Amino acid sequence: MNKIVFATNNANKLREAAEILAPLGIEVISQREAGADCDPEENGATFAENAMIKVKAVYDIVKIPVFADDSGLCVNALDGRPGVYSARYAPKGQECAKLLEEMKDIPDNNRAASFQCVIAYMDEKGIFTVNGGCIGKIGYEEKGTNGFGYDPVFVVGDKTMAEMTAEEKNALSHRGAALRALYEMLAKG
């Protein structure tokens, strides 16, 4: 295999995946580059269900190996929200502000959260899933300019994900962990 389709058109996700899978000598291309102009409805109840919906929709069009991810932020004090609805939690660009507003009265010892990611992979042999997670907490303000989504408010150690370099983030992010698990599966053949 020399080419794999990532069922996304998100440039940030595509860059992360290409960096992690590069040592395998596999070119990672977007679904648009592969000719899959579709946007399947992500109506699953779990990250795994949504990833499978996306991977099947794109694979049915391109018929070459495809992987798709679904991920989100799970905040303990909010009973796991926004969770599977992370992308639809607030209008684009307002996710962090809404989350900080909801968390404004939550004390530091109850701000635990995790990013979760499930990757579904599909080829002519079938489908499998891998997952990854990253544990941290929700900060009190947006910090940093690297990253996207909830990265400016998700704190690991003493930095938000948006304050980390791409290398630092890839080393501990939920998507990085899931991509490394995918890497291991692909490396085994």
Active-site residue set: 70
DSSP state of 113: E
Residue 70 structure tokens: 């679904």
* Cis peptide, bond prior to residue 82, ω within 30 of zero: yes
> 179 is written with which tokens?
């991509």
Please list the alpha-helical segments (H only) found in 74-147: 95-102
Q: Which long-range contacts (CB under 8 A, 24 or more apart) does 158-161 make?
A: 161/136
Euclidean distance between CA atoms 105 and 61, whole angstroms: 48
Three-point CA angle 84, 87, 90, nearest 5°: 115
| Distance in angstroms (rounded) separating the CA atoms of residues 126 and 49 | 15
82, 71 Cβ separation under 8 angstroms: no
Closest CA to 178 of 141, 136, 131: 131
